[in-house]
Amino acid sequence: MTKIKICGLRRPEDIAYVNEAKPDFAGFIIDVPKSRRNVPREKVRELTALLSPEILPVGVFVNAPMETILSLVTDGTLKAVQLHGQESQSYLEKLKKQVAVPLIRAFSIRSPEDLTEAEKSPANFVLLDNGAGGTGETFDWSLLSSFDRPFFLAGGLRLENITEAVSRFHPYALDLSSGVETDGYKDKEKIIAAVAAVRR
Ligand SMILES: O=C(O)c1ccccc1NCC(=O)[C@H](O)[C@H](O)COP(=O)(O)O
């Protein structure tokens, strides 16, 4: 069954919402000041401590120093890591040798060549997204027709299009952020409805 990740959690209320909805993954945008969903690394520990143990906390990083990631993985704060910047393949391979948690590499999909790159990635999972992340916009899904590895589908997913996304592409997981927000904040009812729709 397709899994679901709710990304961009930053308040204790957001954690209460996901604890009720029970998605598979909860994403935290860590040390990315340009994002309105930014959570400083010191606060991530407080938030993940409130998270229900069956939900996997994922740290989302943009060109972060590797030490930041290592400290949050080795102390058990994060159970998966998503690289959403311009991290090189050697950075990813070095990190992979040092952590035992799954690595998710994000790709911005604009052309068939982007998908070819994603297919070759040494990451445990790839996440196919639109733009730099958290844009609330889909990419051209028709490009996905021959994509051939398990993937997280991201970018502009919301209640109105997740059923189509699951039935057309059978992704490993869906990743939602803007689509489960109202006025820039996570919306409990939208989160609950999205998780229920994917589980159906
Ligand atoms: O959400 C952000 O603000 C963000 C900023 C910088 C890097 C990544 C970011 N989000 C990563 C995610 O995994 C989002 O859930 C994904 O891009 C989908 O976002 P949306 O289109 O808003 O559903």
Residue 131 pLDDT? 85
Annotated catalytic residue within 14, 24, 31, 129: 129
Which of 18, 29, 63, 185 to mutate to test ligand 1, by most ligand atoms within 8 A of the CB atom? 29
Residue 192 pLDDT? 98
Residue 129 falls in the annotated catalytic set: yes
Q: pTM to 2 decimals?
A: 0.96
CB 83 within 8 A of CB 90: no
Q: Does domain 3-199 have CATH number 3.20.20.70?
A: yes
* Interface pTM, i.e. ipTM: 0.97
The structural domains of the chain, with segments of one domain joined by +, span: 3-199
Ligand 1 atom at shortest distance from the alpha carbon of 157: 23
Residue 200 pLDDT? 86
Q: How far is CA 112 from CA 15, 69, 82, 107, in A?
A: 37, 31, 22, 12
Nearest CA to ligand 1 atom 1: 134
Give CA–CA dist 82/124, Å, rounded.
10
pLDDT under 50 in the chain at which residues?
Answer: none
For residue 136, report the distance from its CA to the centre of ligand 1, in Å.
Answer: 8
